[in-house]
Structure 1
């Protein structure tokens, strides 16, 4: 457990450094093309601001992206009380509780650390699960909080989205001239470079995003399943919940590829096969159920 926590903290720091280096590289290209050395420190400063913003506000960004709202205790008493009880049992501060108004059953956790954690469930999941099943799902998410999975997953979601936006910006700037250079020749040169960078990012960004998300070890989900089952001392609760989730084929409307890896089950309802399985962010749900039944 402590190795998992330490590894996630290290990976989060490494991801931040890679992100800053990426923007520094972009700044270097611009500095060379524009012959303006000030562009490089400006790009580094921008990357630092993006990193700080991602660290402190990415949970709000993710919650806004999926259309989540705070869970009212009067409306969802069993949900809020279960989270508070599991947090007490795990020796953690109680995460804030949110809901997504969507019939597809799913849930995720996010935040930068246990003191600033959030657990979010869909109304479909809350209406579908009995008490033991709901506790199994929430214990799984609480394990992500305790293991610091949430920080790494949160940073991945925001940074993948930032790279996708940057790719779009390069593409349109290159096509329509996002900068005015010293003369038409320089402007044409910069426009071509922006266009080529945008084209490369537009092609590589989705592939890179899938590889990064797939690189988030599938064992993380297995570990959260096992840790959650130990927390409730009733593995069948989570196994039954996963069985119900697997039986529901409806995709989560507000989900996207940047946030899909956060959820307990793939919210896009895509099933891997052949080469596609290399990019799966979740292990097969049948295998997860089988492991839980064997505990």
Structure 2
């Protein structure tokens, strides 16, 4: 159990560390080639500020995009009681509870820390889960909050965005430099900047999404392990995931920008998109949970 949590945390740190090193390398390359390193620093700084805004607004944006409606205990005592008991078990403040009017079974959590947590479940999820399964799903979602997964995903988003903006700026600068025929040096600078732009574009539009998906997958495994530890009953979540695999369908208001927040992929990607999926395969998650269950 604890080895699974430690492994997921370690892998996430390694992935983000490598991506930070890559961003730093491209920024230094830009500064050395253009002779104006401060421009790269400005771009990265701007993206980090934008990421900070997204970080604080993530909860409100997620609720608005999903169409979720906040409830009180009297609106759905069953869901409220399960979330409340889990929060007490984890020593966390009671999160805000939402219900999404959608027949597709799914759930998500958001919030930059336990004091600002939000958990939401669809009407479809509430309809097909028994109490133990629903408890497993909600424990998984609170696990995301406890593990500060929104913070991690926001950092990754900022890194990918920074590299994308650097790529765009380098390509634009290369055409500007190459268009100046009165200086032979500008031709070489244009080629160098174009090379930076191409490399950064590949990173931002191909490697970036793969890295984001890899981090998200690690966090899903970690939330599964955390939820199993909270309930001390991994079979509840394993059974819930089996039902999600059986009854799963796309959400009506699914958005790719918040797909990583849900317990199960809300978009159901095709074969060509699975490389970029934010979720590990459900059978792999179920297998891990049952292996964890044998250690209790």
Q: How high is the TM-score relative to the length of structure 1?
A: 0.70
- CA distance, structure 2, for counterparts of residue 72 and residue 284 of structure 1: 31
- CA distance, structure 2, for counterparts of residue 289 and residue 10 of structure 1: 20
CA contact (8 A) 1:214 1:280 kept: yes
Asked if 1:263 corresponds to 2:294, the answer is no
RCO greater where, 1 or 2, for CA within 8 Å and sep 6 or more?
2
Asked if 1:208 corresponds to 2:199, the answer is no
Look up the SS of the partner of 2:75 in the other structure: coil
Closer/same/farther in 2, CA of residues 217 and 100 from structure 1, 3 Å limit: closer
CA contact (8 A) 2:114 2:145 kept: yes
Asked if 1:144 corresponds to 2:144, the answer is yes
Indicate the residue corresponding to 1:126 in structure 2: 126
Closer/same/farther in 2, CA of residues 241 and 165 from structure 1, 3 Å limit: same
1:40 Cα deviation from its structure 2 partner: 5.6
- CA distance, structure 1, for counterparts of residue 164 and residue 280 of structure 2: 28
Indicate the residue corresponding to 1:62 in structure 2: 62
Closer/same/farther in 2, CA of residues 170 and 77 from structure 1, 3 Å limit: farther
1:211 Cα deviation from its structure 2 partner: 0.9
Asked if 1:79 corresponds to 2:79, the answer is yes
1:78 Cα deviation from its structure 2 partner: 1.9
- CA deviation map 1:55-88 (0-9, x unaligned): 3223333333x33434212333322222111010
92-101 vs 195-204, greater mean Cα deviation = 195-204
- CA distance, structure 1, for counterparts of residue 11 and residue 54 of structure 2: 17
Q: How high is the TM-score relative to the length of structure 2?
A: 0.69
Indicate the residue corresponding to 2:46 in structure 1: 46
1:136 Cα deviation from its structure 2 partner: 0.9
Indicate the residue corresponding to 2:242 in structure 1: 243
CA contact (8 A) 1:142 1:228 kept: yes
CA contact (8 A) 2:30 2:193 kept: no
Alpha carbon RMSD of aligned pairs, Å?
4.6
- CA distance, structure 2, for counterparts of residue 127 and residue 70 of structure 1: 17
Closer/same/farther in 2, CA of residues 71 and 52 from structure 1, 3 Å limit: same
- CA deviation map 1:232-285 (0-9, x unaligned): 23333212211111112421233333322222111122366xx86654432221
Closer/same/farther in 2, CA of residues 202 and 28 from structure 1, 3 Å limit: closer
Look up the SS of the partner of 2:68 in the other structure: strand
1:212 Cα deviation from its structure 2 partner: 1.5
Unaligned runs of 5+ in 1: none
- CA distance, structure 1, for counterparts of residue 241 and residue 267 of structure 2: 15
Look up the SS of the partner of 1:112 in the other structure: coil
